[in-house]
Chains A and B, each alone.
Chain A
Amino acid sequence: MSTYTAHFRVWRGDADGGGLRDYRVEVHDGEVVLDIIHRLQATQAGDLAVRWNCKAGKCGSCSAEVNGRPRLMCMTRMSVFGRDETITVTPMRTFPVVRDLVTDVSFNYDKAREVPSFVPPEGVAPGEYRMLQEDVERSQEFRKCIECFLCQDTCHVVRDHEENKKAFAGPRFLMRVAELDMHPLDAAEEQGLDRKRSAQDEHGLGYCNITKCCTEVCPEHIKITDNALIPLKERAVDRKYDPLVWLGDKIRRRT
């Protein structure tokens, strides 16, 4: 068991402004950044605002930027830093600050509402759903999402471009469109909803230029770009330019 004193710089402030404040704080074996933030709360800064719940990487509450990199504080071990390294903790940059490390993430909840929900297949009673494991696996990968919003925070389309927020759902919610689109029993199409097209037309898929930054920060290691966004793009493109699909669409619309 060994203990040392670390140098932390934590952003303190609120919507009106603020800055980095320096702290010297004890660190014990096996601890994570969130432990240190909690120690600061208990000993030096009782009112330091931070979100957390599970402390095990399951709830996606404790998102912040550690040395500039979007991370879950509860899954960032102190042992990845040198003992004399200064550790800087700042709130997620893409969302407005509420206080200290807490940001206003309502952007994400607004976007969630804009994605049309699962459409249950008609005539299939509860208990009669039959799906094969290999068919649900693709959507299951995306349902591992813990809504930490780190991918949303990191994506350059909105990170420094407030003006894009209106038109762009962000990787998490484009992935939600893909998830529903790949759901074996989703009946959106029967109801006249083309999810692939809506990704392009309603949720701003076109802004994404597949830099994969979102995939890199995802703590659930979901291959957001490769498995959700690119397939969605390919099929959106197929749809737009494939004359047969285009014709089919026209015919179906008229009936």
Chain B
Amino acid sequence: MAQVERHAYDVVVVGAGGAGLRAAIEAREQGMRTAVICKSLFGKAHTVMAEGGIAASMANVNPHDNWQVHFRDTMRGGKFLNQWRMAELHAREAPDRVWELETWGALFDRTKDGRISQRNFGGHEYPRLAHVGDRTGLELIRTLQQKIVSLQQEDHREHGDYEARLKVFQECTVTRVLKEDEGGGTEESAGRGRGGKVSGVFGYVRESGRFFVIEAPAVVLATGGIGKSFKVTSNSWEYTGDGHALALLAGAPLINMEFVQFHPTGMVWPPSVKGILVTESVRGDGGVLRNSEGKRFMFDYVPDVFKEKYAQSEDEGDRWYEDPDNNRRPPELLPRDEVARAINSEVKAGRGSPHGGVFLDVSTRLSAEVIRRKLPSMHHQFKELADVDITAEAMEVGPTCHYVMGGVDVDPDTAAATGVPGLFAAGEVAGGMHGSNRLGGNSLSDLLVFGRRAGLHAAEYTAGLGGARPAVVEWQVDAAAAEALRPFSAEAETVPDGVPENPYTLHQELQQTMNDLVGIIRRQGEMEEALTRLDALRVRARRAGVEGHRQFNPGWHLAIDLRNMLLVSECVARAALERTESRGGHTRDDHPAMDRRWRKLNLVCELSDPADAFGEVSVGRREMDPIRPDLLALFEKDELLKYLTDEELDR
């Protein structure tokens, strides 16, 4: 039997970003003994990098804002593919989730009358993003982290132990969700099929390399995204799609995996920082996009569905910043998918900047002092990393892989994963909320709204089980340990040329494949080629080998992560091949138009053979529930006609 450390908790949260921490706070406040597990140090999750803000219709800056307008914007941004009930809950609850942060010590930027200030962002009709300069994610995560500390201080006063009811296991990686034995008692039958309840998680401690099991009836996945499967990305090493893969392996399906958001503005130079994000606030605060001819090209790229909502001339766009009630917004503030495609086209047409991007200029519109105050970390980032002073010169920017709309298929109200009792998912790892394209600022609010719901319902689920908790099955623990150790014995296995594969090389090849063949613009032949290459990489990944020992060994960690990245990449490629239309974050060169018949179809990815972690993924189609009539009534019929089929509208 494998050597493993054992713990038992009521609720385990995998992930310590905004979604995970908010879930943990809720579960603990519901009286559950709660564990949080994260790969990095506490307080370093991806959420810390969010810049622009958090969307909530508090109406502090424009009194016309309310949840209905926010809901409308979200559905438009997602091209109506959103799980509408999630979009509704999100729009309704976001303001409360932001205000609650203030009671935990958050200090947002203020309006003149002392309320939380809100800024403009792409696709949002009114100024809606609560922010702190351009470091909103840091404020969010620090506030949640400090709230957790304050709950721990409470426990210390009561029990003499900070960790009596809420413990953070930092620098630990979960590699398997464990499930109860469903009766067969053998490897073939137990815990593999759909329906078996969650019994806990298996993972390793990064520092020591030792294994651990946490027994728990409820597991909340809050692991974030998948961007590390792409070469040019704004995401960090943590974004290897772990939660997506853990769900698949546990028998829970993923939806909408074809929708990957490429943020229009990443840095393009120098090469070592290519992909690092340039926040949308630069445009929200007045930055304009120009091509090598000095032209504001976005005016040529306003799609029909948005024609009435955006300025037709530079003058009108400029006036909007001062007088938004009588002018329309400039097209630089179109949803991200539109702007990213436009930049891509300009560069392809030979009108790009010297390093293959376009120019983003804020220096012509704002004074140096205002830029330094409103965009301090962008100013710093360009100065330090690219020798560019954004108060005086334009930035060079181009699209970068940023966010995945697809994720675990969940119940909108409870965040429960489909088909696996006890499994929940919230934040970027969950699918549905953003449809085919996420609006800026809607992620941070999503984390809080559904993080809280996941924590709440995980707690209720555990409480509802009473004493009848699913047991951890020993052979699953042994199998998980053997799987994790395989990279150390790769050399011993029979391989054709006798040498193990270097995990770093495999990773680079995977990133190149996804970037080139399943990137921002997609074609059938290229995606088929990608699937062939992924097949080959999967075979080679079984032989990924590492040197050294188990103590803090990044090569080993990467070898383990490859399984997840390959699974997730296969989902993206297969679903993208299947969807023969262009919508939001999915653009097909060979099917350039949006097709109303695809609007209500979700593509559902599952593992063909749940027992084979390096196996194939199958894609199925599923119809979405019709949108509730009172929500449909929030739109003009003319607008709905662009998205919904006639039959849907007649109903």
Number of B interface residues at 8 Å Cβ cutoff, please give it. 69
Tell whether B312 is near chain A: CB-to-CB under 8 Å: no
The contact of A58 among B48, B100, B132, B152, by CB within 8 Å, is B48
Contact of A50 with B by CB under 8 A = yes
| Docked pose: A137 CA to B372 CA in angstroms | 15
> Are A50 and B44 interface neighbours, CB within 8 A?
no
CB distance from A106 to the nearest CB of B (A): 9
Instruction: Please report whether the interface of chain A is mostly helix, strand, loop or mixed according to DSSP.
Output: loop
The answer to whether B386 has its CB under 8 Å from any CB of chain A is: yes
**B546 in complex: contacting residue of A46, A50, A60, A147, CB < 8 Å:** A46
Interface segment, one of A24-32, A82-90, A195-203, A239-247: A24-32
**Contact status A29-B270, CB under 8 Å:** yes
CB distance from A3 to the nearest CB of B (A): 11
Q: Are B271 and A53 in contact (CB under 8 A)?
A: no
Q: Judge if B115 is at the interface, Cβ distance under 8 Å.
A: yes
Task: Report the minimum CB–CB distance from B466 to chain A (whole Å).
Answer: 33
Residue B547 lies at the interface, judged by CB distance under 8 Å to chain A: yes
Chain B residue numbers with a CB within 8 Å of A117 are 105, 146-147, 149-150, 153
Contact A130:B114 (CB < 8 A) given known A57-B384, A118-B105: yes
- Minimum CB–CB distance for B91 against chain A, Å: 16
* Docked-complex contact B110 and A133, CB < 8 angstroms: yes
Q: Chain B, 84-109, contact with A by CB distance < 8 Å: what is the 0/1 string?
A: 00000000000110011011110101
Give residues 27-48 of A contacting B (CB, 8 Å): 28-32, 35, 41-43, 46-48
Q: Is the beta-carbon distance between B114 and A53 smaller than 8 angstroms?
A: no
Of residues 94 through 115 on chain A, the ones whose CB sits less than 8 Å from some CB of chain B are 98-100, 102, 105, 109, 112-113
Cβ of B270: which chain A residues have Cβ within 8 Å of it? 28-31
Q: How many residues does chain A have at the interface if contact means C-beta atoms less than 8 Å apart? A: 57
* One of B214-222, B298-306, B509-517, B553-561 contacting the partner: B553-561
Query: Is B552 part of the binding interface, using a Cβ–Cβ cutoff of 8 Å?
Result: yes
A132 near B: Cβ within 8 Å? yes
- B505 — which chain A residues lie within 8 A by C-beta? 42
A77 to B591 CA separation, bound complex (whole angstroms): 44
> In the assembly, what is the distance between CA of A60 and CA of B145, in Å?
15
B372 to chain A, nearest CB (A): 12
A131-B554 contact in complex given A30-B273, A118-B150, C-beta closer than 8 Å: no
Nearest residue, chain B, Cβ from A176: B146
Q: Does B189 contact A (CB under 8 A)?
A: no
Asked whether A144 is an interface residue with its Cβ less than 8 Å from the other chain, the reply is yes
Which residues of chain B are within 8 angstroms of A56 by Cβ–Cβ distance? 49, 273, 276-277, 381, 385
15 A-B pairs in the complex with CB atoms less than 8 angstroms apart: A30-B269, A32-B272, A50-B554, A53-B49, A54-B48, A57-B384, A75-B385, A98-B207, A99-B551, A113-B162, A127-B96, A129-B102, A133-B117, A143-B139, A143-B142
List the 6 shortest-distance A-B pairs measured between CB atoms, nearest first: A30-B270, A47-B548, A118-B105, A117-B150, A46-B555, A130-B114
Given contacts A61-B41, A117-B105, A127-B58, 12 further A-B contacts (CB under 8 A): A32-B385, A42-B508, A46-B555, A53-B40, A58-B138, A75-B384, A99-B207, A126-B100, A127-B99, A130-B115, A131-B110, A133-B110
Interface residues of B (CB under 8 A from A): 40-44, 46, 48-49, 58, 95-96, 99-100, 102-105, 107, 109-110, 113-115, 117, 132, 135, 138-139, 142, 146-147, 149-150, 152-153, 156, 162, 207, 236-238, 269-273, 276-277, 377, 380-381, 384-386, 502-505, 508, 546-549, 551-556
